[in-house]
Amino acid sequence: MVQIDIPAGFVVSMLAIDLGRQALKKGHDNTQTEKSSLYYRYLFRSLLFAGAVIAPAGIYLLAGWPGWEQIYWSKRFEEVMHTGWANALLPALFVLFIMLAAYAGHALGYRWLTTGKEKYIRPTWIGLLVVVGMVVLLNYPSFLLVGTYDQYHNLNGQAREAMSSVFTNPHGFSVGWVCVMIYFALALGYLCLKVLRENRPAESER
């Protein structure tokens, strides 16, 4: 979902900083420059994850099921083609904000880590996850229904009763969503394991 994917870029970047904090602190202490080589390595991973995992998954769902992907907040996502430059810009802005969020999470997390404010890192990304979860839950039952904006809001002769449950695999939605989540979970697991392996030697030297 748009409401999840953009914050996810921030959360994953800050999570990587959190998991690799000892290695990053050691790298910062041992460098003569403002930012160590590890800073750029983690930045690259964060942006790569945002650009190669979160963005493609989000665009895939937005293209196939635009109403569900943004829990029926706006009809414009369903009217991208041949409706003017503003609507056509929405998918591009979606990807852009995912990338910006990933950079922001990395930059802020690293700044806190190297300025004695690392205690804010974990509460921040966990707190953001809670807020995002609440936003989605407060829009119940939108995330359980697949259809159009007009159907969900009972507009233009359309009715919510005509929408399909996500559990019935309407238009192949459920299969696509499961594939997206498997891809995301595998990629996130790999990223976390790689960061933890790098952090282990620095952790043992404490």
Average pLDDT of 63-81? Answer: 95
Question: Does residue 141 have a cis bond before it (omega within 30 degrees)?
Answer: yes
Residue 8's pLDDT band, with cuts at 50, 70 and 90, is very high
In whole angstroms, how far apart are CA 15 and each of 46, 86, 109?
A: 10, 34, 9
Q: How confident is the model at residue 39 (pLDDT cuts 50, 70, 90)?
A: very high
Q: What is the rounded average pLDDT of the residues 110-121? A: 94
Which pTM was predicted? Answer: 0.92
The 10s digit of each residue's pLDDT in 166-184 is 999 999 999 999 999 999 9
Residue 29 has pLDDT above 90, yes or no: no
Q: Averaged over 85-108, what is the pLDDT?
A: 96
User: From residue 145, how far is each of 55, 69, 203 by CA, in Å?
Assistant: 22, 11, 46
pLDDT computed for residue 31 by the predictor? 74
Q: What is the pLDDT of residues 139-163, one digit of tens each?
A: 999 999 999 999 999 999 999 999 9
**Domain membership of residue 90 as a residue range:** 2-204
For residue 9, CA distances in Å to 15, 27, 165 come to: 10, 24, 28
- What would you measure as the largest C-alpha separation in the chain, in angstroms? 67
**pLDDT computed for residue 157 by the predictor:** 93
Q: Which long-range contacts does 165-170 make (Cβ < 8 Å, 24+ apart)?
A: 166/68, 170/146
Total domains in the chain come to 1
Place of tokens 């609507």: 87
Q: Does the structure show a pLDDT above 70 at 164?
A: yes
pLDDT at 206 over 80: no
